[in-house]
Structure 1
Amino acid sequence: MIVGIDLGTTNSLVAVWHEGAPRLVENALGQLLTPSVVGLDDDGQILVGQVARERLQTHPQLTTALFKRYMGSNHEIRLGSKVLRPEELSALVLRSLKEDVERAFGEPVSEAVISVPAYFSDAQRKATRVAGELAGLKVEKLVNEPTAAALAYGLHQKDETTILVFDLGGGTFDVSILELFEGVMEVRASAGDNFLGGEDFDDALAQYFLARQAGTEGFPDTSTPLLVQRLRREAQRVRHALGQQAEVDFCLREDGREWSQKITQDELQGALAPLIERLRAPIERALRDARLRAADLDEVLLVGGSTRMPLVRKMVAGLFGRIPSMHLNPDEVIAQGAAVQAALKARHAALEEVVLTDVCPYSLGIETSVTFGRQHEAGHYLPIIERNSVVPVSRVNTVQTLHDNQTQVLLRVFQGESRLVKDNIYLGELDIPVPPRKAGEVSLDVRFTYDINGLLEAQVSIPLTDETHSLVIENNPGVLTREQIAERLKALESLKIHPRDQQVNSILLARLERLYQECLGEARQYVGELAGQFQHVLDSQDEHRIREARAGVAQRLDELERQL
């Protein structure tokens, strides 16, 4: 069975192609969204999803989120005594989604199409594949999130159309321009920001609150992980509420005291203005690279939960002079599109064949030296494959030796858009022997070939000697080797995963603990009593009593949170 997965920075979803349409699959808690959060419980067992997110505030040293932002790097995250890489944490989320489908359909899941931000680098894409492999999934196909959104909207079934997909999620921002003609869906251009999303809006709003509270007597130290999580959670609540209300109270409670600040929609706009402005540059770059004007677009699609913000929708409408499309749930559309891509891959009879073409999101090139008079300045970047070239692509450029009687040329390969290689990402290098001649007499034809699987081959031909040298870049710095993958897989298999059928109780206990910390006075006492009562029922191991008590406690907590 092949599934489509939206592996998100904040939340993840899984969908299957079922009875002629994409169907989202609920997790063990009956929810479609599984928070991309991993943690340890008090016994050292792995927690994934909502129960882990509830413990972000109460057990920050044992819980982590936003690890997708570190995919493709050497970053490591400590949870208690365990140290895990972003690929391993993502693998735990993928494994839980895989188990949800297997439980729902009663058959094993062997393969997945996973969505990635269009602006993900080569290393980040490889790391995503590794995460799938660690989760026990075969991942032959990654689909760009904007392309998945277009598939979910059924745009592959239309005639000729040009659309822009504006995808603003919890952690990343992508904009892609797609053109459909004669059964071919072609990505014309992609741009984005891998460090811009709803989480950044929450951080900015929290910083605004802190700035307004500066100098307040007795204000707590907000650098502790516990208070950072509390501020983020409150900022998210306020940001969402301001989508419906003119003003909302931002509250922080600590040690029996409360600090409150009214936030209006105008103040929210002011606090988030720098981030909203950052959304414009990728849009303008994508239009420029596609050689299109806003008026040339047939449709603008909004994707990602953060596009629910009125500020964002207003900015998009103003920029394009039209109301953008948001017919499908922006949180769910990418997973649905990934399921369509999975069905296309499986050549499902209900779908007409559509050819998808993609682009290389970053420029790829080499280090060169620039001559100023008699001075040579190394460290300059010579792009060979320009960003937004349709893949597969092969390009060649010619360079010459720099010194008399030079016998070696070091070819260093980079990825990025900056003028100097020190500001780009190093991918690999190749040492090439050349015949000793006067400077400039030996030419080297450097050919880059980039395929649909993100594999880059650098081939260097020397016409003078008819020799050819090549370098295939499969592993980037920060990407695990085959041996490391096998080692990490073995380590993951030994981890104890918290039983999913018990999560429904664990999540309520975690919620009670969080609310106990958040509340004061009578409300705190009330939450403590509820926690004690529910723990007493759990100790009875009577499933019928537990089910009834769980529903009753959850209802009371819902009422309490509405009053807070």
Structure 2
Amino acid sequence: MQKDPIIGIDLGTTNSCAAIVEDGGNVKLIPYKGGEYTIPSIFAIDDKGNELIGYEAKRQWQLNPRNTIYGSKRLVGRPFQSDVVKEMKKVVAYSIRPGKKNEVLLDVGKKEFSLQEISAKILNKIRDVAANYLKTPIKRAVVTVPAYFNDRQRQTVKEAGKLIDLEVVRIINEPTSAALAYGAGKSVNKKVLVYDLGGGTFDVSIIEIRDRVFEVKATGGDVFLGGIDFDNAIIHHVLKDFASKTGIDLATDPVAMQRIKDLAERTKIDLSARDDVQFNIPFITMTSQGQPLNIEMKFSRKMLEQLTNHLVDRTLQMVARVLVDSGLSTKDIDEVLLVGGQTRMPIVQDRLTKFFGKTPSKGVHPDEAVAVGAALYAKSLEDNSSLRLQLLDVIPMAIGLERAGGAFHTVFPRNAPIPNAKQLVATTSRDSQTELAMRIFQGDHEQVVKNDLLGEFTFSGIRPARAGSVQVEITFDVNVEGILTMRARDPATGREMTTTVRVSS
């Protein structure tokens, strides 16, 4: 193995995975002890104060739900006030609270953690497993994120790498990475639609593969739609049924909830292979007289499909939107690639078959394709690599400014190609003004308040003069990773102005 290899990491909501391209050109998934290739994206602190990550954390989850963090990728880069955080608070046992800048903080085992720190712990575990397996230190990685992650969420992943001294050489989108796994080095010339329904997020991207060029035509998604929501549909049904029979609400009992969660996920998985399964949990709680109560139910595949049909509908609405954005029809798509564990559900495959008039491809492994693609791209970035891959990606949602009156002024529209740069000319609104402040948002709503605030940018060092007489040329630059930087200059003097970026709450 060459010195200082770059590995590919799929940092998932429910499971993470790493891979590397060996000297012979084979892609090797990095195994964990016990032969597993994925590591649960779970962090916990036990009652003795030990930090546990992955399987160790998952094993003690039922008994220690309040100090076990899972699904935290859904909270990454989100202000505490956001709807996503409110929804997560309803379904997790761990404490979610606001920090001083309205960021999300998590309390685990009497300690406080930011989301960057939790992501860093999981990244570090994957890095250690890889270093032990490859018998060489790992300092660099290509890390994947959902295509629908905004600028702040991408920045958070970079910061998580910095915390553990892991250089995130490049961030690439998960569906693009899966397309690399499908097409890299195979002389493919096709338009593929990647339908990526993972544990916590849903992405869909249309990618034109021309041998070694992977051009994203359009992308869309929902960072709050995934396997967890299919589990929650079962959980809500079980709670409602139990309350109607006993008058007892189990939602307030974290240990009971954890037992129901575990069985809900197993039931969902079993129903992909079977038509019906028993849903039995003995001694889930006691009556006020001290009598033990059990959950005894039966779930059929049909019942699960009825409970989750609306979730599958949401994914297909996004598929339709992305097709419209790309200017393509279902007939133009050569292959539909399934990525993410939730795509094993038969109804998902049936609905996609009806939608496209053809069966989805089994050309990639749903759990491993993203890590494989990341490893291939990592290989192509190495100095002496014979594998040269070109990615032409897009930004997932518009980036723009707040206009007077709260309207959204688009600088980069949704699906604008990246890298990309745009210039705007701004002017002063007051006499002797020396600073210019701007609020930058990302999202697809016409009103800024419905979009995500990326930050407030203040340009200082403007020449004091009459209002409207000084022009400021502002350059917005989105790099290949979809991360935004800004700079400003005074065209009359050629002077570059300093910019401070305050990522706002």
Range into which the TM-score falls when normalised by the shorter chain: 0.7 to 0.9
Identify the match of residue 311 of structure 2 among 264, 275, 278.
275
Residues 52 and 453 (structure 1), Cα distance of their counterparts in 2 relative to 1, 3 Å cut: same
Listed one character per residue, the Cα deviations across residues 256-285 of structure 1 (whole Å, up to 9, x for unaligned) are: 321222222221111112211111232122
Shift of 1:55: 1.4
Residues 241 and 447 (structure 1), Cα distance of their counterparts in 2 relative to 1, 3 Å cut: same
1:24 has 2:29 as partner:
yes
Partner Cα separation in structure 1 for residue 147 and residue 12 of structure 2: 13
Letter in 1 for 2:416: S
Partner Cα separation in structure 1 for residue 204 and residue 149 of structure 2: 12
C-alpha contact (below 8 Å) 2:196/2:202 kept by paired residues: yes
- In structure 2, the partner of 1:430 is 458
C-alpha contact (below 8 Å) 2:377/2:389 kept by paired residues: no
Shift of 1:13: 0.9
After superposing the two structures, state which structure 1 stretch, 51-60 or 256-265, moved more: 256-265
Mapping 1:497-536, distance limit 5 Å: none
Shift of 1:390: 1.1
Identify the match of residue 65 of structure 1 among 70, 74, 77.
70
Partner Cα separation in structure 1 for residue 183 and residue 427 of structure 2: 50
C-alpha contact (below 8 Å) 1:95/1:136 kept by paired residues: no
Residues 273 and 344 (structure 1), Cα distance of their counterparts in 2 relative to 1, 3 Å cut: same
C-alpha contact (below 8 Å) 2:198/2:227 kept by paired residues: yes
1:143 has 2:172 as partner:
yes
- In structure 2, the partner of 1:34 is 39
Letter in 2 for 1:365: G
Total equivalences in the alignment = 465
Partner Cα separation in structure 2 for residue 186 and residue 471 of structure 1: 35
RMSD between superposed Cα atoms in Å: 2.6
- In structure 2, the partner of 1:543 is none
- In structure 1, the partner of 2:417 is 390
Partner Cα separation in structure 2 for residue 404 and residue 30 of structure 1: 66
Mapping 1:242-391, distance limit 5 Å: 242-253=271-282, 254-255=284-285, 256-347=292-383, 349=385, 351-369=386-404, 378-391=405-418
Which has the larger helix fraction? Answer: 1
Partner Cα separation in structure 1 for residue 47 and residue 436 of structure 2: 57
Listed one character per residue, the Cα deviations across residues 31-89 of structure 1 (whole Å, up to 9, x for unaligned) are: 21111111123321111111211211111122111111122242111111111122212
- In structure 2, the partner of 1:109 is 138
C-alpha contact (below 8 Å) 1:303/1:326 kept by paired residues: no
Shift of 1:466: 6.0
- In structure 1, the partner of 2:148 is 119
- In structure 1, the partner of 2:221 is 192
Q: TM-score, normalised by structure 2?
A: 0.85
- In structure 1, the partner of 2:190 is 161
Identify the match of residue 52 of structure 1 among 54, 57, 60.
57
Partner Cα separation in structure 1 for residue 437 and residue 249 of structure 2: 55
Identify the match of residue 171 of structure 1 among 186, 200, 206.
200
After superposing the two structures, state which structure 1 stretch, 216-225 or 17-26, moved more: 216-225
Listed one character per residue, the Cα deviations across residues 518-540 of structure 1 (whole Å, up to 9, x for unaligned) are: xxxxxxxxxxxxxxxxxxxxxxx
Listed one character per residue, the Cα deviations across residues 416-455 of structure 1 (whole Å, up to 9, x for unaligned) are: 21111112222223367685468xx987655422222444
SS of match in other structure, 1:323: coil
1:451 has 2:487 as partner:
no
Question: Unaligned 5+ residue runs, structure 1?
Answer: 370-377, 479-564
Listed one character per residue, the Cα deviations across residues 216-257 of structure 1 (whole Å, up to 9, x for unaligned) are: 125353222212222211111111111122122223431432
After superposing the two structures, state which structure 1 stretch, 266-275 or 189-198, moved more: 266-275
Listed one character per residue, the Cα deviations across residues 106-159 of structure 1 (whole Å, up to 9, x for unaligned) are: 211121111111111111111111222223311121121111111111345324
- In structure 1, the partner of 2:10 is 6
Residues 101 and 446 (structure 1), Cα distance of their counterparts in 2 relative to 1, 3 Å cut: closer
Residues 321 and 469 (structure 1), Cα distance of their counterparts in 2 relative to 1, 3 Å cut: farther
Partner Cα separation in structure 2 for residue 420 and residue 139 of structure 1: 34
Partner Cα separation in structure 2 for residue 53 and residue 169 of structure 1: 18
Mapping 1:460-479, distance limit 5 Å: 476-477=503-504
- In structure 2, the partner of 1:202 is 231
Shift of 1:457: 3.5
Which has more radius of gyration?
1
C-alpha contact (below 8 Å) 2:402/2:439 kept by paired residues: yes
Shift of 1:181: 2.8
Between the aligned residues of both structures, percent identity stands at 33
